[in-house]
Amino acid sequence: MRLSRAFLPTLKETPAEAQIVSHRLMLRAGMIRQTAAGIYAWLPLGWRALQKVEQIVREEQDRAGAQEILMPTIQSADLWRQSGRYDAYGPEMLRIRDRHDREMLFGPTNEEVVTEIFRQFAKSYRDLPRNLYHIQWKFRDEVRPRFGVMRGREFLMKDAYSFDLTKEGAEHSYRQMFLAYLRTFARMGLKAIPMRADTGPIGGDLSHEFIILAETGESQVFVSQDLLDMDPLAEAPDYDADLAAAVGRWTSHYAATDEMHDPVAWEKLEASKRVSARGIEVGHIFYFGTKYSKPMELTVQAADGSTVHPEMGSYGIGVSRLVGAIIEANHDEAGIKWPDAVAPFRAAVLNLKNGDAACDALCDTIYRALGDEAVYDDRADRAGVKFADADLMGHPWQVIVGPRGAAANRVELKRRMTGERHEVSPEDALAKIKG
């Protein structure tokens, strides 16, 4: 993308309504614009970051054996009455009527719809287990939307739903998702800590939140240093491993949000291992048994001929929220510091003297070699503006091309995450960026 042609409405001043870092930087970097309270349009730079996050989520769901579908945003109130949640859910649900005066709603979650879909398919134990997921826009009418995409009313969410014949099978599915979440967040450059959680309006008796630590986090969390020292990719093995043992290694250490905190157990932990910090929830998983299959009359025939209500679980990741959370965990005073895997563009090519034949030729060569993963700052602005915008937008690599270096076939390569700079050949710069 050439910046001279890009739709990239950056801001020098931060709008007054932006209260937290991610909101400020997403507005200033031209990633989003608010269209109504708690509702945002995603502009090209933000949309690319959102797509990168979404793809990692999708790949890890597929890897764990879940199958992707797409359910509707508008749902029938009758389904929610079958489950008993229509009147209980609260004012966060947007209730509407169609032209035939039928009661509908804009889905805040999809337990009822997926149960109805599966009810039409599943007849026997041979149809289990299954795990279905989709990535879809949701709406919850927050009483006070704030913090940009971190607590908006409309948001993109991955929600998955497992169906098993037995409680043991459901717990196995739960563990698969537990490990899939560890892998998902680790691939995004995040250390997400699983913490026992309240099940809330979803229901059930087993639940974990996945929390990343950030100074601007919305929750107070308490966690053992032992847990922080664990490597999610090393400690989240393939799904044919002993899942109970793998999950047990994560859940055997103390980790709790403020709501679930046990001061007595906390005091028993060695003082040097107590970490009290702020955290941001980026995922939540639930096992809730027959809470939905029973009232909605979802049954299958077991091997012995008996009739069984499948055991269910649900697994959510706030995809759009994750973009904000990643920024909260990776920034400095100059702007965003994207981890490589989720950066909208992997590198920025900065031409410090447009019109200089050597600079133009070298920048064009590097830009073409990097392809779709590069942004080329070919604007006629002064160098300071280009440096500031590159830092603000947070591209992991900056290739800085000036007339003196171009004449000698050298560039300056800057690593945004660390601030390190090195003068290298264009070939070495490309190798590092692509590597």
The single-letter DSSP state of residue 89 is S
Question: Concatenated DSSP letters for 31-50?
Answer: SEEEEETTEEEEPHHHHHHH
CA distances 315 to 110, 157, 184, 390, Å, are 11, 10, 13, 36
pLDDT at 73 over 70: yes
The predicted structure's pLDDT at residue 242: 86
Q: Report CA-CA distances (Å) from 221 to 131, 189, 193.
A: 31, 20, 10
Question: pLDDT category, 396, cuts 50, 70, 90?
Answer: very high
SS3 274: strand
Q: Which amino acid is at 64?
A: A
The architecture of the domain spanning 21-335 is: 2-Layer Sandwich (3.30)
pLDDT digits (tens, 9 = 90+) for 289-302: 999 999 999 999 99
In 3-state terms, what secondary structure has residue 230?
coil
- Give the residue from 370, 385, 170 showing the smallest Cα distance to 285: 170
The residue ranges of every structural domain in the chain are 21-335, 345-434
Q: What confidence tier does 47 reach under pLDDT thresholds 50, 70, 90?
A: very high
Q: How much of the chain, in percent, has pLDDT values that exceed 70?
A: 97
Tokens found for residue 292: 């939905």
> So what's the pLDDT on residue 232?
87
Q: Which CATH superfamily includes the segment(s) 345-434?
A: Anticodon-binding domain (3.40.50.800)
The model's pLDDT over 404-426, given as tens digits with 9 standing for 90+, comes to 999 999 999 999 999 999 999 99
Phi and psi at residue 51, in whole multiples of 5°?
-65, -35
> Rounded mean pLDDT of 37-57?
97
Buried/exposed code over 145-168 (b: 16+ C-beta within 10 A; e: otherwise): bbbbbbbbbbbbbbbbbbbbbeee
pLDDT, tens only, 194-241: 998 775 555 556 899 999 998 878 889 999 999 999 998 887 667 767
In this structure, are strands 331-332 and 347-351 parallel, antiparallel, or unpaired? unpaired
pLDDT the model gives residue 200: 59
Q: 287 to each of 183, 309, 388, how far by Cα in Å?
A: 20, 14, 47
Does position 16 have pLDDT exceeding 90, yes or no? no
Model pTM? 0.94
Greater pLDDT, 43 or 215: 43
For residue 73, give the nearest of 96, 41, 100 by alpha carbon: 96
**Each residue's pLDDT tens digit, 356-379:** 999 999 999 999 999 999 999 999
Mean pLDDT value of segment 242-264? 91
Average pLDDT over residues 287-316: 96
Say if residues 375 and 45 touch (Cβ distance below 8 Å): no
Omega before 339 within 30 of 0, i.e. cis: no
Compute the distance between CA of residue 81 and CA of residue 296 in angstroms, rounded to an integer: 9
